[in-house]
């Protein structure tokens, strides 16, 4: 039981058996159609099969919060063909609106909620409660709108709420309606789609809008958004309210009908966030419940007062404080539905920070999930866009004058607040780019959960520790310093002799009598391969003794001694004088194998299926930050590709293939061939030793 508990903690920290599952690949998904919808925000979006549908919205990039004149159009994006087309509709349409939602049900589209404001006269705002249906099951090219008659009391009309379809019911939570006291709402409603009856559920713990909601495990999960905080509770008005983004993460149990605050587990957390996008992910197509959820982008409004010092930012956001310098975010986080752990998915290419994007699922296969992230608005941190357009300034001035005319208590800094706070001194830009994103589940799902654990071998009487003090058996040791548990044990070999790679590989050695590098004499390194052509060993310099730089030198056996066992006292003294870059860097492994294989990746490495000429090749990738044996330290340094990696990341490229003599001689593939052969031999040796244990 103790062993299972320890492994459970390690899984939460690193992912299954040591893999942190943090890498993701972004590929531009070019559009193949000339027509495209207007670049609007706060619109309704939903996926039905291989199509995406959008309706309504406003041009928020120009500070226009009113529904666009194009806001009653329905557009369809064909994922397979990569084409947009304008859908022709007839019947009683919903009309232009913003902040509403759409969802698919039995082949048709349903639309509810949203806001519309008159552009002249009284400028009255309307918050809609009618449910609309767009009949998509009928014959095109014109599709008909109709109003669906619902039963019982309807919820308040609202905008910027969260809605989710789950098990034949549509759930609505919170939102914004200034006609209701307090503006932001916290109520919860459910629409039974078998009889179209609305029913109220228990209110949530906090008012919010511009948040997100998803469902799974018979619960509703609600995250983030913005809430209303009156600056003067005794004199409430819309112009005297701060709307900070919040991090509140709660769930509603559909069985017990109770709300609960969810723990935020993991080093990386969503933080204060609104206007982000959420997408449930499934282990395989056809699953009823999501295994995890990803959230992308978003906007952070610090509220009023908005000033935060650098010290405040570091205290609140830690090492991610630079990411929160601008209001728009480019963070992709994954939430595990089983462990409640949040983890970052780091893009492999630069992406524009964006809010109000939309995401859709493509497929899940071979342990890799494919989905699209499209459109949105944000700011490019590499371009200074602080000069607001005349239209933006005019809109801020209009809102200021309208507020005074309506008799609101308006703060003296309101107009500059609209220009500075809402847009954070950066004019946002709309982006219509579409990306395909690939994320992996620990090097593939079939039998791959334990792949990286093969790197960590301990003595039979040792178990990985989870203590809060430095412990040589801790699986987090390498995150502190470039050492392994083996380095704390008495060496099993006394002498360095020529051509003894089987016994010396990974062993800590000490330099002695070097003439060309006298500065290294007395320092320790890690022994690598025997280089028969030169009669020397490749020795990797310790990161904590080499300024955090990856490096190696070739050394004659007579200039190497076996290093003494490391003591915890030595390491504690070492850590006093070294920084965090002396840790062993994370490893990115790319494996290319035939698309015809359905075996665990390690099996393909040990006993590869030949890649046929013209046959498909599937890339599998993952990062690893888990425990390492002394041999694994040396292995990863040996097969590292310096053209891809750096001092902060070891990158290895492998190919699951049976190699010919021609492959070994080809200069273009020689490095990958040698690395693949060396890696497969190492894994074969690990499995042989583990089978005995």
Three-point CA angle 562, 568, 569, nearest 5°: 100
- Would you state the pLDDT for residue 663? 64
Element (H, E) at 313: helix 310-317
Lowest mean pLDDT, pick from 19-23, 24-28, 313-317, 638-642: 19-23
CA distances from 365 to 27, 180, 550, 655 (A): 18, 47, 36, 20
Contact between 293 and 302 (Cβ < 8 Å): no
Q: Give the max Cα distance, the chain.
A: 93
Highest mean pLDDT among 448-452, 586-590, 620-624: 586-590
Rounded to the nearest 10 degrees, how much is the dihedral formed by the CA atoms of 74, 79, 85, 89?
-40
Rounded Cα–Cα distance for residues 524 and 487 (Å)? 11
39 CB neighbour count, 10 Å cutoff: 17
Question: Where does the pLDDT of residue 440 fall: very low under 50, low under 70, confident under 90, or very high at 90 and above?
Answer: low
The closest alpha carbon to 571, from 630, 507, 510, 524, belongs to 524
Residue 1 has pLDDT above 70, yes or no: no
Contact between 396 and 423 (Cβ < 8 Å): no
Contact between 69 and 84 (Cβ < 8 Å): no
684: tokens are: 């074969």
Mean pLDDT on 547-569: 85
Is 13 strand, coil or helix?
helix
74: tokens are: 């329905």
Residue 305 has pLDDT above 60, yes or no: no
Is 58 strand, coil or helix?
strand
Identify the residue with better confidence: 198 or 370: 198
Question: Where does the pLDDT of residue 147 fall: very low under 50, low under 70, confident under 90, or very high at 90 and above?
Answer: very high
Contact between 15 and 442 (Cβ < 8 Å): yes
Mean pLDDT on 53-74: 82
Question: Where does the pLDDT of residue 649 fall: very low under 50, low under 70, confident under 90, or very high at 90 and above?
Answer: confident
Contact between 191 and 148 (Cβ < 8 Å): no
Mean pLDDT on 186-208: 95
DSSP 448: -
- In Å, how far from its chain's centre is CA 370? 13
Question: Where does the pLDDT of residue 619 fall: very low under 50, low under 70, confident under 90, or very high at 90 and above?
Answer: confident
With 0-12 CB in 10 A as exposed, 13-18 as middle and 19+ as buried, what is 321? middle
The closest alpha carbon to 483, from 526, 451, 520, belongs to 526
Helix, strand, coil shares of the chain, percent, nearest 5, are 20, 30, 50
Query: If you search the block for the tokens 């093969």, which residue do you land on?
Result: 454
Adjacent-strand bridge partners of 159: 176
- Would you state the pLDDT for residue 91? 92
Query: If you search the block for the tokens 């005019």, which residue do you land on?
Result: 394
Contact between 146 and 133 (Cβ < 8 Å): yes
157: tokens are: 């009309």
What is the SS3 string spanning 480-546? CCCCCHHHHCCCCCCCCCCCCHHHHCCCEEEECCCCCCHHHCCCEEEEEEEECCCCEEEEEECHHHC
Please, what's the b/e burial string for 271-297 (b: 16 or more CB within 10 A of its CB; e: otherwise)?
A: bbbbbbbbbbbbeeeeeeebbbbbbbb
Rounded Cα–Cα distance for residues 482 and 27 (Å)? 34
CA distances from 378 to 41, 276, 334 (A): 11, 12, 21
- Would you state the pLDDT for residue 474? 61
pLDDT in tens, 596-618: 777 777 777 777 776 666 566 77
Domains and CATH numbers, the chain: 1-21+451-463+472-489+582-693 (no CATH), 43-117+132-147 (no CATH), 464-471+498-581 (2.30.30)
Residue 458 has pLDDT above 70, yes or no: no
Question: Where does the pLDDT of residue 70 fall: very low under 50, low under 70, confident under 90, or very high at 90 and above?
Answer: confident
Give every CB contact of residue 638 below 8 A, 6+ residues apart in sequence: 528, 529, 538, 675, 678
Rg (CA), the chain: 29
Across the chain, mean pLDDT equals 77
- Would you state the pLDDT for residue 651? 79
650: tokens are: 């070891």
Mean pLDDT on 196-222: 95
Contact between 232 and 264 (Cβ < 8 Å): no
Mean pLDDT on 52-65: 84
- Would you state the pLDDT for residue 338? 84
Q: Is the dihedral of CA 557, 558, 561, 562 positive or negative?
A: positive
- Would you state the pLDDT for residue 238? 44
CA distances from 200 to 6, 130, 549, 601 (A): 43, 16, 61, 50
Is 12 strand, coil or helix?
helix
Mean pLDDT on 558-562: 95
Please, what's the b/e burial string for 125-160 (b: 16 or more CB within 10 A of its CB; e: otherwise)?
A: eebbeebbbbbbeeeeeebebeeeebeeeebbbbbb
308: tokens are: 């935060």
pLDDT in tens, 243-297: 888 989 999 999 999 999 998 876 778 989 999 999 998 877 778 899 889 999 9
Give every CB contact of residue 358 below 8 A, 6+ residues apart in sequence: 45, 52, 54, 277, 373, 374, 375, 376
118: tokens are: 């008159």
With 0-12 CB in 10 A as exposed, 13-18 as middle and 19+ as buried, what is 332? buried
pLDDT in tens, 85-96: 999 999 999 999
Lowest mean pLDDT, pick from 17-21, 37-41, 657-661: 17-21
Mean pLDDT on 302-306: 65
Number of H helices, E strands in the chain: 10, 39
């Amino acid at each position: 039981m103790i062993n299972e508990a320890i492994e459970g903690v390690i899984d939460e920290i690193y992912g299954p058996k040591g893999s942190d599952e943090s890498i993701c690949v972004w590929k531009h998904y070019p559009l193949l159609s000339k027509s495209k919808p207007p670049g609007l925000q706060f619109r309704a979006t939903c996926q039905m099969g291989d199509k995406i549908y959008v309706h309504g919205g406003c041009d928020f990039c120009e500070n226009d919060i009113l529904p666009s004149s194009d806001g009653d159009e329905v557009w369809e994006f064909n994922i397979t063909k990569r084409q947009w087309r304008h859908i022709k509709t007839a019947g009683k349409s919903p009309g232009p609106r913003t902040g509403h939602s759409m969802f698919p049900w039995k082949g048709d589209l349903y639309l509810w909620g949203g806001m519309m404001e008159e552009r002249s006269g009284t400028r009255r705002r309307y918050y809609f409660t009618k449910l609309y249906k767009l009949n998509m099951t009928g014959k095109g090219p014109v599709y008909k709108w109709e109003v669906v008659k619902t039963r019982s009391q309807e919820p308040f009309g609202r905008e910027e709420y969260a809605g989710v379809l789950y098990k034949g019911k549509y759930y609505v939570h919170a939102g914004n309606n200034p006609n209701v006291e307090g503006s932001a709402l916290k109520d919860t409603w459910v629409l039974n789609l078998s009889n179209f009856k609305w029913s109220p559920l228990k209110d949530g713990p906090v008012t919010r809008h511009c948040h997100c909601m998803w469902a799974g495990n018979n619960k509703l999960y609600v995250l983030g958004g913005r809430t209303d905080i009156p600056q003067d509770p005794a004199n409430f008005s819309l112009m005297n309210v701060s709307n900070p983004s919040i991090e509140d993460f709660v769930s509603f149990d559909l069985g017990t009908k109770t709300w609960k605050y969810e723990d935020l587990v993991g080093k990386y957390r969503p933080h204060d966030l609104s206007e982000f996008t959420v997408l449930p992910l499934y282990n395989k197509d056809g699953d009823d419940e999501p295994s995890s959820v990803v959230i992308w982008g978003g906007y952070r409004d610090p509220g009023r007062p908005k000033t935060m010092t650098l010290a405040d930012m570091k205290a609140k956001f830690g090492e991610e404080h630079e990411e929160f310098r601008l209001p728009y975010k480019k963070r992709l986080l994954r939430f595990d539905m089983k462990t409640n752990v949040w983890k970052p998915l780091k893009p492999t290419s630069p992406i524009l920070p964006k809010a109000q994007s939309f995401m859709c699922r493509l497929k899940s296969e071979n342990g890799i999930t494919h989905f699209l992230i499209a459109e949105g608005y944000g700011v490019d941190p590499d371009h200074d866009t602080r000069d607001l357009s005349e239209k933006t300034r005019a809109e801020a001035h209009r809102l200021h004058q309208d507020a005074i005319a309506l008799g609101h208590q308006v703060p003296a800094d309101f107009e500059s607040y609209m220009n500075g706070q809402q847009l954070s001194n950066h004019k946002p830009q709309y982006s219509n780019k579409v990306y395909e994103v690939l994320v992996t589940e620990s090097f593939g799902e079939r039998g791959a959960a334990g792949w990286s654990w093969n790197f960590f071998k301990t003595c039979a009487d040792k178990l990985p520790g989870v203590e809060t003090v430095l412990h040589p058996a801790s699986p987090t040791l390498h995150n502190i310093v470039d050492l392994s548990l083996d380095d704390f044990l008495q060496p099993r070999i006394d002498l360095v002799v020529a051509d003894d790679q089987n016994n010396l590989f990974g062993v800590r050695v000490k330099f002695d009598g070097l003439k060309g590098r006298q500065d290294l004499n007395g320092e320790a390194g890690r022994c690598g391969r025997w280089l028969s052509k030169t009669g020397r060993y490749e020795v990797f310099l310790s990161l904590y003794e080499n300024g955090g730089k990856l490096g190696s030198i070739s050394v004659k056996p007579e200039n190497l001694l076996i290093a003494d066992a490391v003591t915890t006292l030595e390491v504690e003294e070492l850590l006093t004088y070294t920084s965090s870059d002396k840790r062993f860097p994370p490893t990115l492994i790319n494996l290319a194998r035939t698309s015809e294989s359905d075996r665990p990746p390690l099996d393909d490495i040990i006993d590869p299926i030949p890649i046929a000429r013209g046959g498909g090749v599937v890339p599998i990738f993952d990062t690893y930050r888990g425990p390492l044996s002394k041999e694994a330290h040396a292995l990863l340094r040996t097969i590292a590709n310096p053209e891809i990696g750096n001092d902060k990341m070891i990158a290895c490229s492998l190919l699951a293939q049976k190699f010919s003599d021609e492959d070994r001689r080809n200069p273009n593939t020689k490095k990958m061939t040698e690395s693949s052969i060396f890696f497969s031999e190492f894994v074969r040796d690990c499995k042989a030793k583990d089978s005995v244990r």
